[in-house]
Amino acid sequence: MTVTPAAEVAELLLKSGIVYTRTSGDPFFFSSGWASPVFVDIKRLISLPAARGRLVELALVIIEQQIVPDSYDQICGCELAGVPFAAMIADRKSKPLVVAMKQGKGFGRLARFEGTFEPGTRTLLFDDLTTDGRTKTSVQRALEDAEADVVGIYVILDYKIFPGAPQISSLVTLADIIAAANRGNLLPPSVMSELQAFADNAPQWSRRNGGIAEI
C-alpha cells in the first residue's frame, strides 16, 4: 500500500509522542476559546532532529505539488512556533525569510515584521498549525498591509473541523491523525471514540466541555 505524505506525517506525530489527549477531567483549551480532547505540540519536534528533518522534507514535497516553485520570493514564518520550520524550509529553498510578529514593535510598513522585503514581494506564509484560522487571516492581512503579495498559506497541521475556517493548505489534518492511530492501534479505543466525536462535531463537543461553540 502506498503511504501518502499526510499518512506519514500523522504517524510521525503520533510516534514522536507529541499528540496529547484528555478524555476525562478538564480538556485542553485553545487560545481562541475552543475546548479540545487533543493537543498536538508540534513545536517539540524542533528538539527531535530525525523527525523534524523528515517533516521538513515532506513539507517541501507537498508545497512543490501545490505551488509552482518559482511563484514565491520569500518565506514568512509566524511568531513563535512557526519560525523554526519556516527557517528550515527557507534554507532548503535558498529563499529569504521574514518573521511575522504578534504585535508591531516599530513604525511604518514593516512594523510587524522582523527582516525586510520590498512591496510586491511574493510571499509564502508558513506556520506550525491552525485551528479556526483566525491567526493566519490576521497575519495575511498584516502582510498585505505591508504590500506583500501572499501567494499561499501552509501549515503542518490544520484541524479542519471548525466552522467558518478559511481554506489553508496543510500537510496533515486531525482526520489523518485519527486514521493513523486507528491503523497502528496507537491510541486506546476509549480515546479514539472521544477524538472521533470531537472531529464529527467540534462546536458541540467544545460547548459540552466548557469551551466556545462558535467563532
pLDDT number for residue 70? 83
Lowest mean per-residue pLDDT among 16-30, 56-70, 183-197:
56-70
Whether residue 55 is preceded by a cis peptide bond, meaning omega within 30 degrees of 0, is no
Structure-model confidence comparison of residues 64 and 148, the more confident one? 148
> Which residues have C-beta within 8 Å of that of residue 133, sequence separation ≥ 6?
162, 164, 165, 166, 168
pLDDT number for residue 174? 98
pLDDT number for residue 167? 85
pLDDT number for residue 146? 97
Kindly tell me if the per-residue pLDDT of 44 is higher than 80: yes
The structure's pTM equals: 0.94
Q: Are 155 and 170 a contacting pair, CB within 8 Å?
A: yes
Region 24-39 average pLDDT: 95
Quick one: what percent of the chain has pLDDT higher than 70? 100
> Using one digit for the tens of pLDDT, what is the confidence trace for 143-200?
999 999 999 999 999 999 998 888 899 999 999 999 999 999 999 999 999 999 999 9
pLDDT number for residue 1? 62
Structure-model confidence comparison of residues 120 and 163, the more confident one? 120
> Using one digit for the tens of pLDDT, what is the confidence trace for 73-105?
999 999 999 999 999 999 999 999 999 998 887
> And the C-alpha cell for 109?
510598513
Closest to 65 (Cα-Cα) out of 146, 154, 130: 154
Residue 196: its H or E element? helix 189-200
Region 114-140 average pLDDT: 95
Q: Are 206 and 213 a contacting pair, CB within 8 Å?
A: yes
> Which residues have C-beta within 8 Å of that of residue 65, sequence separation ≥ 6?
none
Kindly tell me if the per-residue pLDDT of 63 is higher than 70: yes
pLDDT number for residue 185? 96
pLDDT number for residue 3? 86
Quick one: what percent of the chain has pLDDT higher than 90? 85
pLDDT number for residue 212? 95
Q: What is the mean pLDDT of the chain?
A: 94
Helix (H, G, I), strand (E, B) or coil at 16: coil
Name the pLDDT band for 27 (thresholds 50, 70, 90).
very high
